[in-house]
Amino acid sequence: MPSNVTSQSTPILLVCGLLIYILATGVCKILDGLLRTQRQDVEKLFRLARSLPGVRNLVARSKEKILSEVESGLKSGVLPVHRTQDLPCEGQSIHEILKQADKLKGHDCKHLFHTSKMTGTVYATELTHRELCNSMYCNFAHTNPLHGDAFPSVARMESEVVSMTSMLVSNDSNSEICGAVTSGGTESILTAIRASRDFMCYSKHISRPEIFYRIVSVSAHAAVYKAAEYFKINIVRVPTDEHGQMNVAAVKRALSRRTILIYASAPTYPHGVIDPIEELSDIALGQRCCLHVDACLGGFILPFLSGREIESHVPKFDFSLAGVTSMSLDTHKYGYAQKGSSVVLYSTSVLRQFQYTSVADWTGGLYISPTPAGSRSGGLIAQTWAAMLHMGREGYSRVAHEIIESAIKLRKAVADTDGLELIGRHATMVVAWRTTDRTNNVYVLNDILSSKGWRLAVLQNPSALHFCITPANISSVDALIDDLKQAVQTSRTLDKIPGGKAPIYGLAHGLPDRGVVKELLRDIQDLMLQNV
Q: Is residue 428 part of a domain?
A: no
Say whether 71 sits in a helix, a strand or coil. Answer: helix
Distance CA(269)–CA(120), nearest Å, equals 11
Higher pLDDT, residue 310 or 255: 255
- Cα–Cα distance, 179 to 401 (Å, whole number): 28
pLDDT greater than 50 at residue 34 = no
Pairwise pLDDT comparison (2 vs 454), residue with the higher score:
454
Cα 478 to Cα 113: distance, rounded to the nearest angstrom:
16
pLDDT at 474: 96
321, 277 contact by CB (below 8 A): yes
Q: For 371-382, what is the mean pLDDT?
A: 93
Classify residue 504: in a domain, yes or no.
no
- Measure CA 500 to chain center: 24
Q: What is the mean predicted confidence (pLDDT) over 120-140?
A: 95
Which of the four pLDDT bands, split at 50, 70 and 90, describes residue 324? very high
Give mean pLDDT, residues 375-399: 97
Residue 80 and residue 408: Cα distance in Å, rounded? Answer: 42
Radius of gyration for the chain, computed over Cα atoms and rounded to the nearest angstrom: 25
**pLDDT band (50, 70, 90) for residue 310:** low
DSSP 118: B
Q: Is residue 425 part of a domain?
A: no
* 252, pLDDT greater than 50: yes
The confidence score (pLDDT) of residue 151 equals: 95
Of the pLDDT bands very low, low, confident and very high (cuts 50, 70, 90), residue 275 is very high
Q: CA-CA distance, 381 to 343, in Å (whole number)?
A: 10
Residue 308 has a pLDDT of: 52
Are 472 and 122 in contact by the 8 Å Cβ rule? The answer is yes
Q: In whole angstroms, how far apart are CA 101 and each of 77, 121, 130, 494?
A: 18, 21, 19, 40
Which whole number is the average pLDDT over 342-357? 97
CB 70 within 8 A of CB 524: yes
pLDDT digits (tens, 9 = 90+) for 287-302: 999 999 999 999 999 9
Query: In sequence order, what are the beta bridge partners of 346?
Result: 178, 326
Residue 408 pLDDT exceeds 80: yes
Share of the chain above pLDDT 90, in %: 62
Residue among 163, 154, 134, 135 at smallest CA distance from 375: 154
Residue 396 pLDDT greater than 60, yes or no = yes
Q: How many domains does the chain have?
A: 1
Residue 203: phi and psi, rounded to 5, are: -70, -25
**pLDDT for position 214:** 81
Other CB atoms within a 10 A radius of the CB of residue 320 amount to: 14
Helix (H, G, I), strand (E, B) or coil at 346: strand
- What is the separation of C-alpha 446 from the centre of its chain, rounded to a whole number of angstroms? 20
Give CA–CA dist 405/407, Å, rounded.
Answer: 5
Q: Report, as an integer, the average pLDDT of 211-226.
A: 88
Calculate the dihedral angle through the C-alpha atoms of 192, 198, 201, 202, rounding to the nearest 10 degrees. Answer: -120
478-528 pLDDT per residue, tens: 999 999 999 999 998 887 766 667 666 666 665 666 677 778 888 888 888
Who has greater pLDDT, 161 or 311?
A: 161
The total number of residues written for the chain in this structure: 532
- Residue 55: what pLDDT? 62
248 inside domain: yes
At residue 14, does pLDDT exceed 50? no
Query: What are the backbone dihedrals phi and psi of residue 500, each rounded to the nearest 5 degrees, phi first?
Result: -80, 170
Residue ranges in 308-438 assigned as alpha helix (H) = 349-352, 378-415
207 pLDDT higher than 80: no
In a domain, 185, yes or no: yes
Alpha helices in 77-126 (DSSP H): 94-105
Largest CA distance in the chain: 87
Kindly state whether residue 459 falls inside one of the protein's structural domains: no
Whether 71 and 78 have beta carbons less than 8 Å apart is answered as no
Mean pLDDT of the chain: 86
Binned at pLDDT 50, 70 and 90, residue 50 comes out as low
- CA quadruple 58, 64, 69, 73: dihedral, nearest 10: 160
Q: Is the pLDDT of residue 24 over 60?
A: no
Residue-number span of the structural domain to which 171 is assigned: 135-391
226 within domain boundaries: yes
Q: What is the CATH number of the domain that holds 271?
A: 3.40.640.10
Domain assignment present for 436:
no
- Residue 1 — pLDDT band, cuts 50, 70, 90? very low
**Predicted confidence (pLDDT) per residue in 56-109, tens digit:** 666 777 777 777 777 777 777 777 778 888 899 999 999 999 999 998 888 887
